[in-house]
A and B are shown apart, each in its own frame.
Chain A
Amino acid sequence: GESVGLHLPTLSVQEGDNSIINCAYSNSASDYFIWYKQESGKGPQFIIDIRSNMDKRQGQRVTVLLNKTVKHLSLQIAATQPGDSAVYFCAENLGGSNYKLTFGKGTLLTVNP
């Protein structure tokens, strides 16, 4: 998985499998977290977000889990499809009136048909 500070990790899965992308964050004061998907040559696209008062949030085929005890965030993609191949970034926000996101370095997900 990725961390704000590590080199770009990669994850390769078979089509139809579930994917889990991990992210460690360092600031215990962060109260908002967000996942973005970036396809080659495009800008980041919003996938799902979660606030620190939640442990889990589900979207369409995606679930984000937040473990504040160990400062860990994960993105689960169900029934991964070739169109899911992209770089996935997690980002955190320190909260308050600070609307700046700090991004991790991303995880490259490759889906094999």
Chain B
Amino acid sequence: NAGVTQTPKFRVLKTGQSMTLLCAQDMNHEYMYWYRQDPGMGLRLIHYSVGEGTTAKGEVPDGYNVSRLKKQNFLLGLESAAPSQTSVYFCSSGGQGSEKLFFGSGTQLSVL
């Protein structure tokens, strides 16, 4: 039982490049979330999903897209990376009826 797994752990992009961050959970959770964490800013919600095939915008969704084609996976895409998207990205999941979230170990992304 691995919990929440994020890949990759590190990535460096050039401005304008695209990439996809993958999040996988093996806890059969309904809810999945993508957060970004910047120094002194805490965790800010980018997008989330309340079930397979559903997505919704969070606090800072601009420049990102997500997909939840399978219940266990939640993908975060950057179509055209910008330096402002340099951050640490965390995926989390939660079970239906529970507000407690379980987090992955993060992806450190640098956009040059």
Contact = CB atoms under 8 A, between A and B. Distances in A.
B105 interface: yes
B40 A8 contact: yes
A43 B40 contact: no
Contacts, number: 54
Interface stretch (B11-19, B43-51, B66-74, B77-85): B43-51
A46 B100 contact: yes
Interface of B: 4, 31, 33, 35, 39-45, 48, 50, 58, 90, 92, 94, 98-106
A63 B23 CA distance: 32
B45 A100 contact: yes
A40 to B, nearest CB: 11
A99 B100 CA distance: 9
Contacts of A104: 42
Interface in A3-22: 4, 7-8
By secondary structure, the A interface counts as: strand
Nearest to B101: A101
Given A43-B90, A103-B35, A106-B42, 20 more contacts: A8-B40, A36-B103, A42-B105, A43-B4, A43-B92, A43-B104, A43-B105, A43-B106, A44-B43, A44-B92, A49-B99, A93-B99, A99-B98, A100-B45, A100-B48, A101-B45, A101-B99, A102-B45, A105-B40, A105-B41
A34 interface: yes
Nearest to B43: A103
A89 B67 CA distance: 28
Contact of B40 (A7, A32, A102): A7
A62 B58 CA distance: 31
14 contacts: A8-B39, A32-B99, A34-B100, A41-B106, A42-B105, A42-B106, A43-B92, A43-B103, A44-B92, A44-B103, A100-B45, A101-B99, A102-B45, A105-B40
Interface in A26-46: 32, 34, 36, 41-46
B94 A99 contact: yes
Contacts of A41: 106
